């Protein structure tokens, strides 16, 4: 089936921050956004987080992967079954390992199983084809960011910044008609975002996050740690480029001598400095950065971003979008593109040799 008009698509996203599963509906023809629909959230319990976290860095067949996949599938089935009226589901799964130059990319969870449970076609495994064709397989939201900028009526270059476990930037020129056209997009992972702070809070205080950035706001930034962080080889690579959640394993060790507050402040500063370093690659400057993902709720991180970028930094709600659901909405949108045979990534977003449509379709 090739979709020709706008249909209701339901997308789901489980990020590396491991807070839970976001799900949201979008009415789209795979090119423009007609309407945003309802959304829902299903948190992971601490026990579920522990199962998934134990499988980070693991590949199919490794210990713990099947158990993690079962948690992911159960959580998604529970939240997605709350919706009605979806013509297709976009299921990202849970990234456990990402090594595009080596073993590839691994998202746990079976879209085929979900199709049977939900009784709706499911598009999944969005990243593998891109990686097989020489791309990074990430980030994949940029084509949706382009549609969002046009939906919001923006008429000049703007940047979308997603702050999940890893940060990623999308530079968008909404004046270019299609996301796959030259000059429309540039996208790449910036560096660690929420993951190091979340890991710090878990290790030191048994908490899942620094709520609102309160601890980081009370601390002092160790700029020497930030400077050493920016010397990592990743920052000298040209985009497009992507990261695994654990791509900077020495970062927590670097803040080990610091107090809890100073450690949190320094990790937040590292995340913001990585974004500022990434902004140096923009084809043309932007006057505004629009932030989505959980990191936009961290006031200390938002303040660091504004200071280091030197431009207006706003949550995407400023242009009428839902920053908690943008990635779930993106996979709803991408699912329709897959159904239509349209590309989901291109040279300027993942470094793939030519625009390519990822994803496989499983039917009930």
- DSSP structure string for 15-84: -TT-SEEEEEEEEE-SSSEEEEEEEEEEEPPHHHHHHHHHTTT--TTSTTHHHHHHHHHHHHHHHHTT--
Distance CA 27, CA 45 (A): 31
> Taking the chain (364 residues) in consecutive chunks of 10 residues, what is each chunk's mean pLDDT?
80 90 98 98 96 96 98 98 98 94 94 98 97 92 98 97 93 98 96 94 95 98 98 94 84 98 98 98 96 95 97 97 96 97 96 94 97
Kindly state the tokens that stand for 154: 């923006």
Asked if 7-138+326-362 and 153-319 have one fold, the answer is yes
Domain with residues 7-138+326-362, CATH architecture: 2-Layer Sandwich (3.30)
Domain 153-319 in this protein, CATH class: alpha beta
Cβ atoms 185, 177 nearer than 8 A: no
Name the CA dihedral angle for 131, 135, 137, 138, rounded to a multiple of 10 degrees.
170
Q: According to the model, what pLDDT value does residue 316 have? A: 98
Residue whose C-alpha is closest to residue 283's, from 188, 186, 353: 186
Residue 74 in tokens:
């159960």
- Those residues with Cβ within 8 angstroms of residue 257's Cβ, 6 or more apart along the chain or in another chain: none
pTM for the whole structure: 0.93
How far lies 293's CA from each of 71, 194, 203, 338, in Å?
A: 22, 10, 23, 24
β-bridge pairing 185-192 and 88-99: unpaired
Dihedral angle at the C-alpha atoms of 77, 79, 84, 90, nearest 10 degrees? Answer: -70
Give the per-residue pLDDT at 246. 78
**Where exactly are the structural domains of the chain?**
7-138+326-362, 153-319
């Amino acid at each position: 089936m090739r979709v020709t008009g706008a249909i209701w698509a339901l997308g789901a996203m489980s990020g590396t921050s491991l807070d839970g599963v976001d799900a949201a509906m979008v009415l789209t023809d795979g090119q423009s956004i007609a309407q945003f629909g309802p959304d829902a959230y299903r948190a992971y319990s601490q026990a579920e987080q522990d199962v998934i976290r134990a499988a980070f860095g693991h590949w199919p067949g490794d210990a713990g992967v099947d158990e993690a996949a079962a948690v992911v599938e159960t959580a998604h089935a529970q939240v997605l079954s709350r919706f009605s009226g979806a013509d297709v589901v976009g299921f990202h799964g849970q990234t456990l390992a990402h090594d595009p130059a080596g073993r590839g990319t691994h998202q746990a969870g079976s879209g085929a199983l979900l199709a049977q449970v939900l009784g709706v076609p499911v598009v999944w495994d969005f990243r593998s084809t891109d990686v097989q064709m020489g791309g990074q397989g990430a980030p994949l939201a940029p084509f949706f960011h382009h549609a969002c900028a046009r939906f919001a009526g923006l008429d000049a270059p703007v940047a979308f910044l997603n702050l999940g476990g890893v940060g990623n930037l999308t530079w968008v020129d909404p004046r270019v008609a299609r996301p796959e056209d030259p000059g429309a997009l540039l996208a790449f992972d910036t560096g660690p975002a929420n993951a190091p702070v979340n890991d710090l809070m878990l290790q030191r205080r048994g908490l899942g996050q620094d709520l609102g950035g309160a601890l980081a706001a009370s601390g002092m930034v160790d700029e020497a740690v930030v400077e050493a962080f920016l010397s990592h080889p990743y920052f000298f690579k040209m985009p497009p480029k992507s990261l695994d959640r654990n791509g900077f394993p020495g970062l927590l060790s670097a803040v080990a001598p610091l107090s809890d507050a100073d450690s949190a402040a320094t990790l937040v500063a590292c995340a913001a400095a990585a974004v500022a370093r990434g902004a140096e690659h923009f084809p043309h400057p932007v006057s505004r950065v629009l932030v989505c993902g959980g990191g936009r709720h961290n006031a200390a991180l938002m303040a660091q971003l504004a200071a280091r970028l030197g431009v207006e930094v706003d949550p995407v709600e400023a242009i009428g979008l839902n920053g908690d659901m943008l990635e779930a909405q993106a996979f709803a949108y991408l699912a329709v593109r897959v159904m239509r045979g349209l590309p989901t990534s291109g040279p300027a977003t993942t470094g793939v040799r030519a625009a390519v449509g990822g994803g496989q379709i499983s039917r009930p």
